[in-house]
Amino acid sequence: MDRNKTYPWYFASGALVLFFILCFIPSVIGIFYSFTDWNSFTDKVNFIGLDNFKEIFVKDKTYLTFIGNTVYFTIFTTAIKTILGLVFALLFTRGIKLANFHRMVIFSPQVLSYLIVGLVFKGILHPTTGFLNIFFNNVGLGFLAHDWLGNIHYAFNSVMFVDSWKGVGYGMVIFIAGIQGISESYYEAADMDGASFMQKTFKITLPLLMPTLIMTTVLNVTYGLRVFDIIYVLTNGGPGYATDVMNTAVFKEFSRGNYAVGTALSTLLAVFTMAISYFILKGLNKKEEY
């Protein structure tokens, strides 16, 4: 059987062409445009070398804030989603009444749009008319009521909370599937040796869950680095620049017509994301060999 004849190349051509034109080409010309002064005011595009990157890293300190915020957001939301997802998965796999109900409820925000979740929490977290502050006032915890999205000290944490509220069920469901895939015989053997719940968790469940853990970490990290929707809806980067991240900055440059600076930021983000995913996945392969 001639493989090239049975599996003709043109079956893949549709996908390849579409991906090449709309995903690959923009990334490549994006690198080129990062070194120009491309903007919406003139048709002329001039090569200006590293000026955009100088602007981002040296001249204008606000860009460094956006990069810092992006990294901070990524680390914290990934940690919260992974740790809580894992804890919930461990707690809710065995011995829970209505386990399917709880799992479905905790997973459900995952299927809603970020825009919808953002609007819901704009209502819930409103300083005077929102559910949360009214609840605190009614139960005598009025001192806990804050302007969650408008106060510079709380805005970023509120945004990260909402994002984790939506995302934690995803990790939980994947971890539950992973735990259920572990053979019961390991636990039976451990029980015979008198192992405790903690010992079983750390010596059996977690090591065997490692590939799943690393994969979800990659997904959460790549999501965190390119976050846009939830921040755009909740705070649009405010108050001030308190919650601005790279992709909200890209949108602002786009709206102002500063295309070149926007593409430079996007290019930086792409390089950064690819590098990090590469190192995490490389770590995964090493672990598997051992």
Partner 1 sequence: MKTKKILMRVFQNAIAWIVSLIVLIPLVVIFISSFKTAAESYTLNLELPKKLILENYSVVIEKGKLLGSFINSFIYASTSTLLIVFLATMAAFVLARNKSKMNRFIYYFLVLGIAMPVNYISLMKVMQFTHLINTRIGIVLIYAAFALPISIFIAYGFIDTIPRELDEAAIIDGCTPESLYFKVIFPLLKPIIATLFVLNFMSTWNDFTMSIYFLNESSKWPMTLAVYNFFGQFSTQWNLVCADIVLTCIPVLIVFILGQKYIVTGMTSGSVKE
Q: Which of residues 65-104 bind partner 1 (CB under 8 A)?
A: 88, 91-92, 95-99, 101-102, 104
Q: How many residues does the chain have?
A: 290
CB 101 to partner 1: min, Å? 8
186 touches 204 (CB < 8 A): yes
- Window 185 to 224, contacts with partner 1 (CB under 8 A): 197, 211-212, 215-216, 218-219, 222
CB 57 to partner 1: min, Å? 19
- # chain residues binding partner 1, by CB under 8 A: 95
CB 219 to partner 1: min, Å? 8
Structure tokens at 210: 């490692």
Count the Cβ atoms, other than its own, within 10 Å of residue 60: 12
Q: Determine if 21 is a binding residue for partner 1 (CB under 8 A).
A: yes
Helices (H), the chain: 3-6, 10-19, 25-33, 51-54, 61-93, 99-107, 114-124, 131-138, 155-180, 184-192, 197-200, 206-225, 229-234, 246-256, 259-289
Q: Contact region for partner 1 (CB under 8 A) — 59-67, 114-122, 142-150, 151-159?
A: 114-122
Three-state DSSP class for residue 50: coil
Q: Determine if 124 is a binding residue for partner 1 (CB under 8 A).
A: yes
Q: Determine if 129 is a binding residue for partner 1 (CB under 8 A).
A: yes
Q: Contact region for partner 1 (CB under 8 A) — 72-80, 147-155, 199-207, 267-275?
A: 267-275
